[in-house]
Amino acid sequence: MKSNLFISALLAATISLMSCNSSNANSKKNTEIEKPIAAENTKIQVALLLDTSSSMDGLIDQAKSRLWNIVNTLTTLKYDGKTPDIEIALYEYGNDGLSKKSNYIRQIAPLSTDLDLISEKFFSLSTNGGNEYCGAVIQDATKKLKWAKDNTNMKLIYIAGNEEFNQGGINYKEVISDALKNGIYVNTIYCGDKTQGINELWKSGAEHGKGKYFNIDSNESVRYIATPYDAEITKCNEKINKTYISYGAKGSAKKMNQETQDKNAQRVSASNYAERAVSKSKAVYKNESWDLVDKVKDDKTAISKIKKEELPAELQNKSEAEIKTIVEQKTKERETIQKEIGELGKKRQQFIDAETKKTKKQDDLGNAINTSIVGFAKVKGYTVEK
């Protein structure tokens, strides 16, 4: 739930900033936002800054539960008909197990398209102690992450926690102002009572970041809706894993990690496992750094460049032509399975949407982030595919 609220907060905040009307040459108000032209493939960059002090176990559980749901929301966004690259970064702060010299903050993962890596890092989080310096972690994320330059990109920070926003020696207003100068919008998610969050300056942080202030109950468990399609999606996920061909020094370990993150998602819930499988059917789930099928999509001449010893044992004695045939076969198999998962995923989401209408929508981290992302995307000229 925290993950959903976190993301919703970020998007809503950015929406309010971007919705301002611009003036035309005659100083008349323009009712439409001019859509900029992308210089390169558009990026959606989301940095999640999570409080891992002792009281935040519920927040971490929500983040684990909502990661793939958030990814799937991001995959519905298009710019000029193309799917943007999705990059997610992860920070922890407020953990006494971290260095005092670093202001008790740590970059766990840089902005990355490696979604299995992000999942792995989420599941490695643990809580301890509590000195939460919001200004310090926002400053670090602003300065040290590799943010895109083009104005067509969406650049969002979501920070979640439950202590005073102005702790530490770094002024949060100044660092948030620096973030805005780089087109990065800061949203805040307070884990606790709304009024208390306002009194502890979390709303002030969002206002300075032209973002949205949210509050969530970080101790509430995420509610899942089982669907008639989950079991079939699970079978498809097992089949799609067999289409991956590892290569390179890290190929075997990366393929193993793919299976590990499947198990992590499955341990959370059957619904979360289905969400991950749906993500794996999308273009944003790409592993060209270790999977030969994705590598060949990226570089048609890749097979000729890879050394024999970098290939899995079963391919090392095969000719280049034979390997090419195998890769083509696996590519077709994967595309067929991805299409099947995509169709099942749409039916699954329709079922969930219908069931959700019957009950009060859960105000959790994932829902918050998803709502804000979609709203901000529309203002930025993105379209949303159902």
pLDDT at 130: 73
Confidence of residue 220 (pLDDT cuts 50, 70, 90): confident
Q: Which residue blocks in 57-155 are alpha helix, DSSP H?
A: 57-74, 115-122, 134-144
Please check whether residues 331 and 200 belong to one and the same domain: no
Q: Dihedral, CA atoms, 319, 324, 325, 330, nearest 10 degrees?
A: 130
Q: What angle do CA 211, 216, 219 make, to 5 degrees?
A: 145
User: What integer pLDDT is reported at residue 356 of this predicted model?
Assistant: 84
25: in domain: no
> Mean pLDDT over residues 264-288, rounded?
95
Between 288 and 28, whose confidence is greater?
Answer: 288
Q: What does the pLDDT read at residue 4?
A: 46
- CB atoms under 10 Å from CB of 253, counted, come to 13
Task: Examine the domain organization and report whether 125 and 46 are in the same domain.
Answer: yes
The answer to whether residue 108 sits within a structural domain is yes
DSSP per-residue letters across 155-212: EEEEEEESS-TT-SSS-HHHHHHHHHHTT-EEEEEEES-HHHHHHTTHHHHHHHTT--
Residue with the larger pLDDT of the pair 25 and 329: 329
Is residue 194 located within the same domain as residue 298? no
Phi and psi for 45 in degrees, rounded to 5? -115, 125
28 vs 152: which has the higher pLDDT: 152
Residue 13 has pLDDT above 60, yes or no: no
- Tens of pLDDT, residue by residue over 240-260, are 999 999 999 999 999 999 999
CA dihedral 228, 71, 83, 187 (to 10 degrees): 140
Q: What's residue 375's pLDDT?
A: 81
Closest CA to 363 of 71, 114, 72, 66: 66
Residues 330 and 204 in one domain: no
Q: What is the pLDDT of residue 367?
A: 78
What is the spatial distance between Cα 135 and Cα 297, in angstroms, rounded to a whole number? 42
367 lies in the same domain as 333: no
**Residue 22: band (very low, low, confident or very high) from pLDDT cuts 50, 70, 90:** very low
Confidence of residue 40 (pLDDT cuts 50, 70, 90): low
pLDDT of residue 9: 47
User: Are residue 93 and residue 188 in the same domain, yes or no?
Assistant: yes
| Residues 116 and 211 occupy one common structural domain | yes
Do 372 and 350 belong together in one domain?
no
Average pLDDT, integer, range 281-304: 95
Mean pLDDT, the chain, integer? 88
- What is the number of structural domains in the chain? 2
Instruction: Identify which has the larger pLDDT, 40 or 35.
Output: 40
| pLDDT value at residue 255 | 97
What are φ and ψ of residue 64, in 5° steps? -60, -40
pLDDT score, position 86: 95
- Give the H/E segment covering residue 384: strand 383-384
Q: Does one domain contain both 69 and 154?
A: yes
pLDDT score at 35: 54
The pLDDT, as a whole number, for residue 289 is 95
Note whether 352 and 205 are same-domain residues: no
Instruction: Provide the percentage of residues in the chain whose pLDDT is more than 90.
Output: 69
Is the pLDDT score of 274 beyond 70? yes
User: In this predicted structure, what is the pLDDT of residue 37?
Assistant: 55
| pLDDT on residue 10 | 44
What's the CATH number where 175 sits?
3.40.50.410
Is the same domain home to 87 and 184?
Answer: yes
Confidence of residue 169 (pLDDT cuts 50, 70, 90): very high
* pLDDT tens figures, 348-373: 999 998 998 887 666 677 877 888 88
The percentage of the chain sitting over the pLDDT mark of 70, rounded to a whole number, equals 89
Mean pLDDT of 331-344: 98
pLDDT band at 131 (very low <50, low <70, confident <90, very high): confident
- Tokens (6 digits) for 45: 């960059």
Give the global pTM.
Answer: 0.85
Residue 28 lies inside a defined structural domain of this protein? no
Look at residue 350 in the predicted model and tell me its pLDDT: 94
Domain holding 295, by residue range, is 230-357
